[in-house]
Amino acid sequence: MGDSALRRLITVLMTGLMTGLISVLILLEVPAPAQALSLPWSRGTADREPVTLPAAGPSGRLQEVAAPGAVQQLRRELASHQPRLSLEGPSNDSVLNGETWTLKLRVEDWPAASDPELGLGAHIALQIDGSPPQRFSQVSNGHLQAQLPALSPGSHRLSAYAAYPWGEAVKTPGASLNWRLHQAQALEGTQPEQNAPWLELVSPSELSAGEPLLLDWLIWNAPLQNLRAGDARWRLRLTLNGDSFLMDRQEALWIRGQGSGNQEVQMELLDSLGEPITPVFNNQLRVVSNRRGKRPVWMQSSLSGQQLARLLGQALPEQEPASKPAAIAEPEADPIVAPSSEQTPNAPAVAPQAASPATAATEKVPTENVPTENASTAEPPAQNAPVEDARAAQPDGTDPVPEQPSQEQPATRLIPRAEPPPLAPTSSLGGSARELLNADGTQR
């Protein structure tokens, strides 16, 4: 074999060896098959620990702040209550027919109230398929009954919960419930599975008014978490006007910094790795506008005792004053004796006095025998004027027969006549007959 043949053989062998080595290297670098996506709440089965999506509160333009002072006051007043709701009708999975249906709930230990001036107090809220809440405050003897329009045909999910005056859901055990109803007939696959998680966006709502803004939600069938390190099962991503943050607790937030104008709030339920969970039921968007005008009373820094009582249903509104106390009867005053129509207007009212002996003797003197001087100038007492006129009408000067008092005269005219002032004796005689008498009434 010549040198040229030997070189060709060596070249072929080297080429084959290199090709084999490259093939081995390529085979070693082939990646392992991709792992399947973990189900909700699962931890994964990969060799390496999955990276849990960390929760982080609002940041940047958004800032979590304390609730308004009035909200804190009302929360303290309601902290002693443990509301419980139970469904009385229609029962779960009922099929409805007709143009209306009646919601019946039993409400325990929750002072639902509403004030015409201050607005809603504690109340009950109802949400259907993620729609904005409907609110009820008419609870009678622990029962709520409300007539509602018919649902759209098909299946629906409903939730009811005890709510604070500002719309936040009470999250203590028994304070909320959920069930399914069907209009006409059930439609499979249009609602979450019976035990699957689903999200209810509670706030913002029609009660929202400017800053701070209340963000609140309920997650049904969500497993417990945060009991120990690394037990994360879900996350809630909240996006407010483009700014997002993650929450891992069902606690309401008061947010400042969202700006003016319409507020766009999106809530998405994720698993611990950040993957969406059934987005059709757990990805919700709500747009609310900042209301102008009078702010709700619970947005104040504090409430008076009267305002607190009215929002808790413990006092009547101010425009409905309580019944006035009965007026104390005053003793009746002695009737005032009206002047007789026969008296002159200028006659002074004289109080009745007991007649003295001298006065009694004077009154026994016959009036026709007592002359007076200057009779034309002396003004007789008003009460005697009718008597003297009657005497003048008698030709013989005798006393006229007194007239019987009219039955129409008031009883006050029977009051004893006041003692007349001492005057000179008077007489109805005139002319020469008057000249025959002395000043003391004796005959000359």
Give helix then strand counts, H and E, for the chain. 7, 19
Of 287 and 444, the structure prediction assigns the larger pLDDT to: 287
Is the distance from CB of 65 to CB of 257 less than 8 angstroms? Answer: no
Query: What confidence tens digit (pLDDT) does each residue in 269-321 have?
Result: 998 888 999 889 999 999 888 777 678 999 999 999 999 999 998 865 555 55
Mean pLDDT of the chain: 74
Task: Decide if pLDDT at 141 tops 90.
Answer: yes
Q: Which of 23-32, 239-248, 330-339, 370-379 has the highest mean pLDDT?
A: 239-248
pLDDT at 60: 73
pLDDT at 12: 73
Q: Please give the Cα distance from 219 to 180 (Å, whole number).
A: 16
pLDDT at 350: 42
Q: Please give the Cα distance from 172 to 108 (Å, whole number).
A: 13
| Across 16-25, 58-67, 344-353, least confident range | 344-353
Q: What is the mean pLDDT of residues 363-373?
A: 43
Q: What is the mean pLDDT of residues 432-438?
A: 55
| Across 32-36, 71-75, 294-298, least confident range | 32-36
| Across 90-104, 160-174, 394-408, least confident range | 394-408
Phi, psi angle pair for 23, to nearest 5°: -60, -40
| Across 34-43, 74-83, 215-224, least confident range | 34-43
pLDDT at 326: 53
- Distant-in-sequence, close-in-space partners of 249: CB < 8 Å, separation ≥ 6: 55, 226
- Distant-in-sequence, close-in-space partners of 281: CB < 8 Å, separation ≥ 6: 130, 191, 192, 198, 199
Quick one: pLDDT band at residue 37, thresholds 50, 70, 90?
very low
Task: Decide if pLDDT at 436 tops 70.
Answer: no
Of 278 and 356, the structure prediction assigns the larger pLDDT to: 278
Query: What confidence tens digit (pLDDT) does each residue in 213-233 have?
Result: 999 999 999 877 766 676 678
Which segments of 57-212 are extended strands (E)?
A: 63-64, 84-89, 94-96, 100-108, 114-115, 119-120, 123-128, 134-136, 139-140, 143-149, 154-163, 176-183, 198-203
Break the chain down into helix, strand, coil percent, rounded to 5: 20, 25, 55
Q: Which of 186, 187, 240, 173 is nearest to 212 (CA)?
A: 240
pLDDT at 358: 41
Residue 94, helix vs strand vs coil: strand
Q: What is the mean pLDDT of residues 320-342?
A: 50
pLDDT at 369: 44
Q: What is the mean pLDDT of residues 4-22?
A: 74
Phi, psi angle pair for 3, to nearest 5°: -65, -35
Of 24 and 410, the structure prediction assigns the larger pLDDT to: 24
- Global pTM value: 0.61
pLDDT at 327: 52
Task: Decide if pLDDT at 53 tops 80.
Answer: no
pLDDT at 437: 58
Q: Please give the Cα distance from 239 to 58 (Å, whole number).
A: 10
Q: Which residues of 147-173 are buried (b: 16+ CB within 10 A; e: fewer)?
A: eeeebeeebbbbbbbbbbbbbbbbeee
- Distant-in-sequence, close-in-space partners of 44: CB < 8 Å, separation ≥ 6: 35, 38, 50, 273
Q: What is the DSSP string of 308-355?
A: HHHHTT-S--TTSPPPPPPPPPPPPPPPPPPPPTTS-TTPPP----PP
Which segments of 90-166 are extended strands (E)?
A: 94-96, 100-108, 114-115, 119-120, 123-128, 134-136, 139-140, 143-149, 154-163
Is the distance from CB of 439 to CB of 373 less than 8 angstroms? Answer: yes
| Across 17-21, 138-142, 391-395, least confident range | 391-395
- Whether the ω angle into residue 400 lies within 30 degrees of 0, i.e. cis, is no
Percentage of the chain with pLDDT > 90? 41
Of 279 and 44, the structure prediction assigns the larger pLDDT to: 279
